[in-house]
Amino acid sequence: MLMNGAQALVKSLKSEGVDILFGYPGGAALTLYDALYDSGIRHILTRHEQGAAHAADGFARATGKVGVCISTSGPGATNLVTGIATAYMDSVPVVFITSQVATGLIGKDSFQEADITGITTPITKHNVLVKKPQDLLKCVKEAFYIARTGRPGPVLVDIPKDIFAAKMDFTYPETVKLKGYKPIFAGEKCKVSLVADALAQAKKPVFFIGGGINIAGVSEEFSRLIEKTGIPVTTSLMGMGGFPSDHRLNLGMLGMHGTYAANQAVTQCDLLIGVGVRFDDRVTGLVSRFAPNATVVHFDIDPAEINKNIKTDIRVVGDLNWSLSQLNSIITNPDISDWQCAVMKWKQERPLTFDEDTREIKPQSVIQEIDQLTDGNAIMVTDTGQHQMWTAQYYTFKKPRTLITSGGLGTMGFGLPAAIGAQLGCPDQLVWAISGDGSIMMNCQEIATAAEHNLPIKTAILNNKGLGMVRQWQRMFYQKRYSGSKHERGTDFAKLAEALGAKGITVKSAQELRPALEEAIKTPGPVFLDIWVSEDEDVLPMVPAGAALDEMIGG
């Protein structure tokens, strides 16, 4: 069947199961947008290309499907860069389709030309500039295959405008064969046996789970492993929801703002089993004193992560669906009753706490109130900063894919557009966006997108009149020299929300908090709560940069 390249691309997207995408049009993309007009694919017009990138990312994280984002050439493509890097750092499968100037104009500094494949090479799993019409369908097929297989990640396909217009027969490839790309699904059984032997001998074992648990969809398999063995569990930020936060063996988050029990358990354990983790610097603290007495085991699908940050004694490379089921089938119950008692004592005696105050709103109490009102069953999407850590600490994540946050890149402005993507991907679930007065302004224009589609997102802005995490570090380590971290003139976020078509509520006292949250949940459509919280509240506990995990402040 003869059609133009844009029509062939749209048909390719439908072949991949795409029924919604996010984007922003422009001159080089007009032929593509004309093909989308009556395609049946729902296009969400965001108010900025970065918003489209984060929305596609949030959709992918919430659903487990491949997100799709499209843009025009030049500035349209470069505006995606932060969103692409965010997805790359957290292994999120998104296909970015950028338009490019015509092939005969490439390399001539043409109007709205940018070398987007060169720009994004370090922050994509794969990218390609389509140079010939006959290569288009093959490149699209490979893009989706690479994005979703192995360790997922973003893939960018850059398509010149003349290829959109070129006539071609539609024959979509059924299979993909890529020289040098062999996603690992099954590894070596003997390595799993070594882990089982190590567990049988261990007296103080701990599991440390990361985002790979959620990505691989192995939460139930992992839970069976823990119920069978009784081994305590700690999580990274990205691993939250992979094992229920309210389970008695869950010690909480590990690392810089982790719990006392989690940090102590890893410091004192004799066997540390990392599952789908990167051993990020925010988790390890001082590397030379991280799990100093432990044999370290690392389960991961990506061999590049093994020994990258922490020296590993036993490595198991392969898909977690394969490796965890193998381990479950051969493991025996270790004798660790004394160790269980010790970690449970730490958990009970040193829980996360904060000073209650009836005069002003404590940010931790906002998260606790939302947790109680939702029974831990909402999808929580955060920006980056203090509010992100308080959400991780005080919300009860019971299910996978219910914390959506920028863990690796730490992107301010991620939360609201990612919540839009999550809500569109999971329309029957309650979605909360948690932000700060700094982060929300990064992509506040997407309030209009949420309002246009009447998306029932509830956004809590923890407004402390400045850049909270920056101020915390300045307070703790820079002698309270608050340089560039104070909003001298505050923003009325309720009025901003109303101006962009959403409902806005201002909350200034502790007595107003619960009724306002209840009103937000009952109100159809998007609601933005401007919640005035304590200005000098710190995220505690905290392990200072360069310190070991057992050198916590306020733990």
**Catalytic status, residue 469:** yes
Q: Is 525 exposed, middle or buried (0-12, 13-18, 19+ CB in 10 A)?
A: middle
Beta bridge partners of 168: 3
- Cβ contacts of 341 within 8 Å, gap of 6 or more: none
Which of these is catalytic: 14, 112, 344, 445? 112
| E strands present in 355-426 | 379-382, 403-404
Of the listed 7, 50, 100, 161, which one is catalytic?
A: 161
Give the DSSP letter string of 250-314.
EEEE-STT--HHHHHHHHH-SEEEEES----HHHHSSGGGSSTT-EEEEEES-GGGTTTSS--SE
To the query of whether residue 161 is one of the catalytic residues in this protein, the response is yes
16 among known catalytic residues: no
Catalytic residue among 238, 380, 389, 469: 469
Residue 329, Cα to own-chain centre: how many angstroms?
Answer: 31
- Active-site residue, from 7, 16, 49, 362: 49
Distances in whole angstroms, Cα of residue 293 to Cα of each of 269, 355, 416, 434, 511: 7, 35, 42, 38, 49
Packing angle, helices 363-374 and 510-522, rounded to 10: 40
Angstrom distances, CA of residue 515 to CA of 370, 390, 484, 510: 11, 21, 34, 10
Please tell me whether residue 373 adopts helix, strand or coil conformation: helix
CB-side neighbour CA atoms (13 Å) of 386: 29
**Residue 442: active-site member:** no
326 assigned to active site: no
d(CA 127, CA 138) in angstroms, rounded, equals 13
d(CA 44, CA 55): 9
- What is the pairing mode between strands 2-4 and 167-169? antiparallel
Three-class SS string for 514-555? HHHHHHHHHCCCCEEEEEEECCCCCCCCECCCCCCCCCCECC
Q: Which tokens belong to 414?
A: 């991620």
Which of 168, 184, 180 is closest to 135 using CA atoms? 168
* Kind plus residue range of the DSSP H or E element containing 513: helix 510-522
Beta bridge partners of 44: 22
Which residues are marked as active site? 49, 111-112, 161, 469
